[in-house]
Amino acid sequence: MNNNELTVLIVEDEKELSDILVAHLSHAFMCTHVISDGNLVIEWLRNNHADVVLLDLMLPNKDGLAICKELREFSNVPVIMLTAKVEEIDRLIGFKVGADDYVCKPYSAKEIIARIQSVIRRFYHSPDEQGSKGWELDEKSHSITYRGTSMTLSGAEFRIVYLLFKNSAQIFSRSHILDILYSEKLEVSERVIDNHIRNIRKKVRLINSHDEVIRSVYGVGYQFGCSVR
């Protein structure tokens, strides 16, 4: 998908910031729409198309946390959450709000454009036709399928599984996974990865209770387990 085909919904109540985003994204040949009131976001998304949403955490009338949770009831559109505090990101991940990425203010236009392009590549990439020993991944629906039975994962969970699945011969440390999932400047605890892995395993057991989809390698990290058996 080319930049000139992208529509970005910017949900930001600070006009100066939204104007800057519009200017830079337009320069990158992206179409934009701005909403400053949290109460108007869900209705707009139910009636209009967006390829990605830049969602500020602090908004008048309804905050980004509530918006993202409500949005996930009917849409998988990629969401990049914007927050003023690094510490907030760990809390948001713990709340499992369904965002696909997190960016801390102040951010550069270059960083925002790179994040948009990254989530778009992950979301709109064609699903794998060849699975690994019965396993298949679908990036558009964030689902993992075993022999015809599917389970939907959160954005972060799917990104971890996708990383390990595509590099099944490689063992990834927690810090390596963190570097890939989140910006290097974000102070996200490595325990977040352990929590994601635990949740992935619980979900996957519901469709396949026999295979260990993610294998722990003591003292090293994690590896996609089924492809190495």
My answer on whether 173 and 202 are in the same domain is yes
My answer on whether 7 and 66 are in the same domain is yes
pLDDT digits (tens, 9 = 90+) for 70-84: 888 888 788 998 887
Q: For the chain, how many structural domains are there in total?
A: 2
Confidence of residue 228 (pLDDT cuts 50, 70, 90): very low
Q: Are 168 and 228 in contact (CB under 8 A)?
A: yes
My answer on whether 66 and 148 are in the same domain is no
My answer on whether 105 and 150 are in the same domain is no
Angle among Cα 50, 69, 54 to the nearest 5 degrees reads 35
Q: How many CB atoms lie within 10 A of CB 156?
A: 25
Residue 218: predicted pLDDT = 72
Task: Evaluate whether residue 130 is within a structural domain.
Answer: no
Kindly tell me if the per-residue pLDDT of 61 is higher than 90.
Answer: yes
pLDDT digits (tens, 9 = 90+) for 104-148: 888 888 889 988 988 887 676 544 434 445 788 887 788 888 888
Residue range 159-184: mean pLDDT, rounded: 78
Residue 227: predicted pLDDT = 40
From residue 165, give the alpha-carbon distance in Å to each of 43, 44, 48, 60, 133.
Answer: 37, 36, 34, 41, 11
Min mean pLDDT across 28-37, 65-74, 121-130, 183-192 is at 121-130
My answer on whether 92 and 59 are in the same domain is yes
My answer on whether 51 and 107 are in the same domain is yes
Domain finish residue from 84, 103, 124: 124
Check which CATH number belongs to the domain holding 94 and give it.
Answer: 3.40.50.2300
My answer on whether 60 and 163 are in the same domain is no
Q: Which residue has the higher pLDDT, 97 or 50?
A: 50
My answer on whether 224 and 120 are in the same domain is no
Confidence of residue 183 (pLDDT cuts 50, 70, 90): low
| Among 93, 68, 85, 76, residue whose Cα is nearest residue 193 | 93
Residue 127: predicted pLDDT = 42
Ramachandran region of residue 9, left (φ > 0), alpha (ψ -120 to 50) or beta? beta
Tell me which residue range forms the domain holding 202: 135-228
My answer on whether 118 and 46 are in the same domain is yes
Q: Are 102 and 92 in contact (CB under 8 A)?
A: yes
Task: Evaluate whether residue 207 is within a structural domain.
Answer: yes
Domain finish residue from 124, 155, 176: 124
Residue 94: predicted pLDDT = 47
Say what the pTM is. Answer: 0.56
Supply 104's token pair: 């801390």
Task: Evaluate whether residue 129 is within a structural domain.
Answer: no
My answer on whether 100 and 56 are in the same domain is yes
Residue range 57-77: mean pLDDT, rounded: 88
My answer on whether 103 and 216 are in the same domain is no
Confidence of residue 95 (pLDDT cuts 50, 70, 90): low
